[in-house]
Amino acid sequence: MRKILFNKKELSSQEIKEMRDFDLVLKKVQAQRDFWKNPWFFGTIGLASILSFLFFI
């Protein structure tokens, strides 16, 4: 069920500005990049691929 709100007080631009955290965004971007670079990730994917290949032949 959708909630319909009438004339709800909106946050001010200053309040929204205070929520900004570009460093957190950069940290999350770096964490994602590190995840894909992690050898464990490809090791697990590689092992899973070999096992499935062996299973099917």
Partner 1 sequence: MSTTSLYHQSDTRIQSELLIIEKSKLNPRYFAPIYNQYYESIFRYVIKRTNDSDLACDITSNVFVKAITNLSKYEYRGVPFSSWLFRIAKSEVYQSFRDHKAKRTVSLDKVAVVKVLDELDLNDLEEHKEKLTHVLRKLKEKDLSLIEMRYFEKRSYREIGEIINVTENNAKVKTFRALQKLKILFKE
Binding site for partner 1 (CB under 8 A): 1-8, 10-11, 13, 16-17, 19-22, 24-26, 28-29, 32-33
Instruction: Please state, in angstroms and as integers, the Cα–Cα distance from residue 22 to each residue in 17, 25, 42, 46, following that order.
Output: 11, 5, 30, 35
State the Cα–Cα distance between residues 46 and 27, nearest whole angstrom. 27
Give the tokens for residue 56: 């099917």
Q: How far is the CB of 56 from partner 1 (least distance, A)?
A: 33
Q: Which is nearer to partner 1, 32 or 49 (CB)?
A: 32
Q: How far is the CB of 23 from partner 1 (least distance, A)?
A: 10
